[in-house]
Chain A
Amino acid sequence: MNQLAVVLVFLPVIVSIVIYLSKWRHMNIVAIASQLALTIVAVVYFTHFYGDFESTHIVLGGWDSRIGISLANDELSMSFIFLSLFSWWMVLIYTFRFGHTEHSFLFFLIFLQGVFLGLLQSNDLFNVFVFLELATIIVTILIAYNKKGESFRSALYYLIVNVPAMLVFLTGIILVYFTFGSINIVALTEQFQDVDDTIILRFSYVLMMAGISVKAALFPVFTWLPKAHGVAQSAISALLSGLIVKAGVYLFFRMNFLYEGAGFAYSDFFFMVGVLTAISGVMFALSQKELKQILAFHTISQVGIIMMGVSSADSDMFYGGILHTFNHALFKSLLFLGAGVIIQVYRTKKVGEIRGVFKTMPVVSIFMIVGMLSITGAPFFNGFISKSIIKYGLAEQGWRYWALYVINIGTATSFIKMSQIFFGPKTLSYPLKNMAQNVAMMALAFGCVLLGNFYIPFSEGFFGIRVEEFDLTSFDVLLDYGITVAIGLVFYFTVIARDLKPVRMIRESRISFENANLVFLIYIVALTTYFVFLS
Chain B
Amino acid sequence: MNPILTFLVVLIGFYGLSTSDNIIKSVFSVTIIESGVILLFLNLGNFQGGSIPILSEDLVSIVDPLPQALMITTIVIGSTVTALSLMLCIKIFHHYGSVKWKEVLARKDVKS
What residues make up the interface of A, taking CB atoms closer than 8 Å to B?
Answer: 126, 130, 133, 137, 140-141, 144, 147-150, 152-153, 155-157, 159-160, 163-164, 167, 170-171, 174, 177-178, 510, 512-515, 517-518, 521
User: Total A-B pairs in contact (CB under 8 Å)?
Assistant: 104
Q: A171-B10, A171-B40, A174-B37 given as contacts; is B21 within 8 A of A512 (CB)?
A: yes
Q: How far is the CB of A175 from chain B (nearest CB, A)?
A: 9
Bound form: Cα–Cα A137–B87 in Å: 13
Count chain B residues whose beta carbon lies closer than 8 angstroms to a beta carbon of A.
44
Q: How far is the CB of B101 from chain A (nearest CB, A)?
A: 4
Chosen A-B contacts, 16 in total, with CB atoms closer than 8 Å, are: A137-B80, A137-B84, A148-B112, A149-B92, A153-B92, A153-B96, A156-B85, A156-B89, A160-B85, A163-B30, A171-B37, A512-B101, A512-B105, A513-B101, A518-B18, A521-B18
B33 within 8 A of A: yes
Q: Which of B24-43 contact A (CB under 8 A)?
A: 26-27, 30, 33-34, 37, 40-41
**A514 lies within 8 A of B73 (CB):** no
Q: Which residues of A contact B88 (CB under 8 A)?
A: 140, 144, 152, 155-156, 159
Bound form: Cα–Cα A167–B40 in Å: 12
**A510 lies within 8 A of B105 (CB):** yes
* Contact pattern, B 85-101, Cβ under 8 Å of A = 1, otherwise 0: 10011011001100001
Bound form: Cα–Cα A480–B21 in Å: 48
Q: Which residues of A contact B33 (CB under 8 A)?
A: 164, 167
B20 within 8 A of A: yes
**A160 lies within 8 A of B112 (CB):** no
Tell which of B73, B77, B85, B112 has the most Cβ of chain A within 10 Å: B77
**B81 lies within 8 A of A514 (CB):** no
B66 within 8 A of A: yes
Closest to A141 in B: B84
Bound form: Cα–Cα A381–B79 in Å: 47
**A159 lies within 8 A of B17 (CB):** no
Tell which of B77, B85, B88 has the most Cβ of chain A within 10 Å: B88
Q: How far is the CB of B91 from chain A (nearest CB, A)?
A: 5
**A170 lies within 8 A of B37 (CB):** yes
B74 within 8 A of A: yes
B77: contacting residue among A130, A147, A148, CB under 8 A: A130
Q: How far is the CB of A350 from chain B (nearest CB, A)?
A: 13
Q: How far is the CB of A215 from chain B (nearest CB, A)?
A: 15
Bound form: Cα–Cα A141–B19 in Å: 27
Q: Which 6 A-B pairs have the closest CB atoms?
A: A149-B95, A513-B101, A517-B18, A156-B88, A150-B109, A517-B17
Closest to A144 in B: B88
Closest to B31 in A: A163
Q: Which residues of B contact A133 (CB under 8 A)?
A: 77, 81
B44 within 8 A of A: yes
Tell which of B34, B105, B106 has the most Cβ of chain A within 10 Å: B105
Q: Which residues of B contact A171 (CB under 8 A)?
A: 10, 37, 40
Closest to B112 in A: A148
**A140 lies within 8 A of B26 (CB):** no
B21: contacting residue among A137, A150, A513, CB under 8 A: A513
* Contact pattern, B 64-79, Cβ under 8 Å of A = 1, otherwise 0: 0011001001100100
A153: contacting residue among B20, B70, B104, CB under 8 A: B104
**A159 lies within 8 A of B84 (CB):** yes
Bound form: Cα–Cα A144–B12 in Å: 29
Bound form: Cα–Cα A163–B77 in Å: 10
**B10 lies within 8 A of A149 (CB):** no
Bound form: Cα–Cα A140–B85 in Å: 9
Bound form: Cα–Cα A120–B98 in Å: 40
Closest to B47 in A: A178
Q: How far is the CB of A225 from chain B (nearest CB, A)?
A: 15
Given contacts A152-B91, A152-B95, A517-B18, 4 further A-B contacts (CB under 8 A): A149-B95, A156-B92, A159-B84, A512-B102
Closest to A140 in B: B84
Q: Which residues of A contact B96 (CB under 8 A)?
A: 149, 153
Bound form: Cα–Cα A520–B44 in Å: 26
B23 within 8 A of A: yes
Q: A137-B80, A167-B33 given as contacts; is B14 within 8 A of A177 (CB)?
A: no
Bound form: Cα–Cα A167–B70 in Å: 13
Tell which of A147, A152, A155, A517 has the most Cβ of chain B within 10 Å: A152
Q: Which residues of B contact A144 (CB under 8 A)?
A: 88, 91
Q: Which residues of A contact B13 (CB under 8 A)?
A: 164
B110 within 8 A of A: yes
Bound form: Cα–Cα A514–B101 in Å: 9
Bound form: Cα–Cα A178–B81 in Å: 27
Closest to B41 in A: A174
**B105 lies within 8 A of A153 (CB):** yes
Q: Which residues of A contact B73 (CB under 8 A)?
A: 126, 130
Q: Which residues of B contact A155 (CB under 8 A)?
A: 88
**B92 lies within 8 A of A152 (CB):** yes
Bound form: Cα–Cα A351–B33 in Å: 41
Q: A164-B13, A170-B37, A174-B44 given as contacts; is B81 within 8 A of A513 (CB)?
A: no
**B112 lies within 8 A of A149 (CB):** yes
Q: Which residues of A contact B27 (CB under 8 A)?
A: 160
Q: How far is the CB of A478 from chain B (nearest CB, A)?
A: 44
Q: Which residues of A contact B67 (CB under 8 A)?
A: 174, 177
Bound form: Cα–Cα A521–B70 in Å: 26
Q: Which residues of A contact B18 (CB under 8 A)?
A: 514-515, 517-518, 521
